[in-house]
Amino acid sequence: MRGDPSILHVDLDAMFAAVEQRDKPSLRGKPVVVGGVAGRGVVSTASYEARVFGVRSAMPMAQARRLAPWTTAYLSPRFTAYKRTSEVVMRLLGEVSPLVEQVSIDEAYVDLAPIGTDLSVPGVTGLATELKTRIATATGGVTGSIGAASSKLLAKIGSDLNKPDGLTVVAPGDELAFLHPLPVSKLGGVGPATEQRLHRSGVRTVGDLAAVSLEHLIDWFGQSHGAGLFRLARAQDDRAVISEREAKSVSAEETFDVDVTDPVRLKRELDLLAARVAGRLRANGLAGRTVNIKVRHGDFTTVTRAFTRDHPTDDGRLVAALARRLLTEVDTSGGIRLLGVGVSTLADFAQDDLFSDDLLSAVPAGADLPDEPAMVAPVLPLPEAAAPSDVPEPAADEGPAVWRPGQDVLHDELGAGWVQGSGLGRVTVRFEGPLTERGPVRTFAVDDPRLHPADPPSWATS
């Protein structure tokens, strides 16, 4: 740990839902759920108004609909809009410090040490407060929460404590006093299985965990898992903020002599490929957040699917489980010529490595992946192989086969709006935008030639 709170963790608050509320005045202050709206889709992000009712990320959308009130808006993701907002924020963070490590589309670490600023608690508090104001102004009202501390671990925990629009600065020397009263679930990577095992032993806070000997923890969880818990409970984290990480991936693939149609064999091949990838990761001291598969059909057409997790892993069982679920999104009935598994968005520090017993329990069957590839939230910068390539957002000059709730549209006469819903050959549109008042609603035939897909609206006032 450092001797000053010079590491910031900036986390945009319910970003996808916040962007939707910014761009759709009629949804401000109301429950909004973004995710896979059909079939077995899952929640990507829920607004804070929806979280009051128990809706949360990774929850099956069907369960969210049972919990949330009838006034809730259920929207398909608009990744172009989210990416634009993210880029604005990352440019702003780059103006604060040359050392910015973006770890996902809505969060980043900022190292204040190189900029020669006042790194006292009052100095960092003032800088972070001003930064929060600048973020809200630059994004048209999307807020961010910030944690500032002497390590990445504590900064990230701090940014989560007072959401939304929160600020937590951990003073040097107060790290353990800050960390130990928190529930063990606040430690990144401590999933339900580890939490339950600790609770059965009377360990509920990080302080309780710190009182357990290394020998006991290793006996309970194994060498790597137990040693990891021991370090985290003592806030032992010396990771640096890395502004640019070399783009790397670890992959393995197999080309079959005869096209394979047997789903049992395909699953077995995925398991073998995942084991090879995991072995290479561990041999190089790496772990990755994005699991992807490559499927080449007999006619040489190639399909990719990807899923990005919150934390990196090198666990072959989890890579295989995710690869299997990704394969369910691909039609394999015509035969598969080539099958590949890869892991990207690599890191040399993985909290998940410390909690291997939790990995599979954290990915419940039927609730971990969206049915629509467009629901896979990309990490920025996004590797080409990780892009949901087969279901792009409709281009502005192409009519979509299906109008998606939340989609941006443009009417030749009524102007810009967004899709409230569609069905039975009709589509309902509300005509409003980030710089307008609550707008009127109109219904059209789904093939009305005056209605077109559009790019996301601008929220800038000039």
Tell me the catalytic residues. Answer: 107
Residue with tokens 């035939």, as numbered in its chain = 445
Tokens 């929207």 belong to which residue? 75
Rounded CA-CA distance 385/30 in Å is 36
In angstroms, the CA 308 to CA 388 distance is: 11
Per the structure block, which two tokens stand in for 185? Answer: 């679930």
Cα–Cα nearest to 2, from 215, 231, 235: 235
> Quick check: 203 and 209 in contact, CB under 8 A?
yes
Q: Measuring CA to CA, how many Å separate 155 from each of 9, 174, 210, 320, 434?
A: 5, 13, 19, 32, 32
* 453 preceded by a cis bond (ω within 30 of 0): no
Confirm if 335 and 260 have CB atoms less than 8 A apart: yes
CA dist., res. 458 & res. 462, Å (int): 10
Nearest to 357 by CA among 321, 326, 315, 309: 315
Cα separation of 35 and 386, whole Å? 18
Distance CA 349, CA 189 (A): 12
**Cα 289 to Cα 344: distance, rounded to the nearest angstrom:** 6
